[in-house]
Amino acid sequence: MTPPAGTTMAQALNAALRDALDGDERVLVFGEDVGPLGGVFRVTDGLTAKFGEDRCFDTPLAESGIVGFAVGMAMGGFRPVVEMQFDAFAYPAFEQIASHVAKMRNRTRGRVALPIVIRIPYAGGIGGVEHHCDSSEGYYAHTPGLKVVTPATVADAYSLLREAIDDPDPVIFLEPKKLYWSKADVALPARTEPFGRAAIRRPGADATVVAYGPTVPVALEAAEAAADEGWDLEVLDLRTIVPFDDGTVVASVRRTGRCVVLSEAAGFAGVGAEIAARVQERCFHSLLAPVLRVTGFDIPYPPPMLEHHHLPGVDRILDALDRLQRDDEPDTRHLLAGGAA
């Protein structure tokens, strides 16, 4: 079924689940309140009514049990898609994810794969109370054996979720909560670029802004504001954190010579730090300024009234651009890189 024009990200995710359930009887959807309620964000709305309680069903409030159950179901030939309801609710399940979901294929020398999708509404921007907002992508990205995906557009929400369900290995599917109600005129089903391909959402020449998930719209807003100050920013949407698209990131930064990495998560030892290190290693001779990060602060996620101070916004991105000292240095990339920049 094709939702009407002005499709929300939540509707696109719902359509992806609906089409996957319709196309493969091995697909099961379960988690807290995903059944008759349709999920707290209505992503599973109507699925139990259409496919029955054997295909889309509620579970007890026990995240470790949900993922453990999914491991057994996947070993039995099913393709479970589970919902963690909120990001910080997923931590009780992390032992199952790190010890079993991520390692089963390796532990069995490739004989047992686990085609599990773990959907996690994540990050901030909705004024959630404690345990309802967090940026946990670093934990999963640091765990070998997991793919880590986070859409920023409506079309990607549909396409990447369908690819995740079809994947033979486990996928952590991080859904930016504040983008659930973002809209786009997208005809579904839609297929976009596969895992491991970043997308340039806005071409530019002066600096590359690397973003993913909830920070992509912020980066685009900052690029528009920066244009008033004479900056032509390129905005790059990673789409998948694991696998990481080194090629597109490197090509962009070598072209612009400057890089700012955006992340809502705490900066220390996070995904933003990994991206900055990779850019430094691969683009050193093309860089005209240090790689900068604009991230959440190194604190526990704040209460709603302080959330807007914590999240990287347009002003903090513009401040980072000022630190890139664009006008203070000549363009010496052709000299430093032997003309290869």
Mean local confidence (pLDDT), 12-26: 98
Closest CA to 241 of 131, 130, 122: 122
**Given this model, what pLDDT does residue 2 score?**
52
Q: What is the mean pLDDT of residues 23-49?
A: 97
7-184 CATH pick, 1.10.600.10, 3.40.50.300, 1.10.3210.10, 3.40.50.970: 3.40.50.970
Contact call for residues 80 and 73 (beta carbons, < 8 A): yes
The per-residue pLDDT for range 125-182, each reduced to its tens digit, is 998 888 899 999 999 999 999 999 999 999 999 999 999 999 999 999 999 999 999 9
* First CA to last CA distance, the chain: 48
Q: Which DSSP string corresponds to 42-94?
A: STTTTHHHHH-TTTEEE--S-HHHHHHHHHHHHHTT-EEEEE-SSGGGGGGGH
Domain extents for the chain?
Answer: 7-184, 199-322
Indicate the average pLDDT of the chain: 94
Calpha distance 89→100 (Å, rounded):
19
Q: Global pTM?
A: 0.94
**Is residue 336 predicted with pLDDT exceeding 90?**
no
What would be the CATH architecture of the domain defined by 199-322?
3-Layer(aba) Sandwich (3.40)
Q: Confirm if 171 and 146 have CB atoms less than 8 A apart.
A: yes
* CA gap 173, 329 in Å, rounded: 42
* Of 323, 291, 297, 329, nearest in space to 310 by CA: 297
Domains 7-184 and 199-322 share a fold: yes
Residues carrying an active site annotation: 132
Mean pLDDT is lowest, of 2-6, 17-21, 98-102, 187-191, for: 2-6
Structure confidence at residue 302 (pLDDT): 92
Reported as a pLDDT band with limits 50, 70 and 90, residue 340 is: very low
Residue 5 pLDDT exceeds 70? no
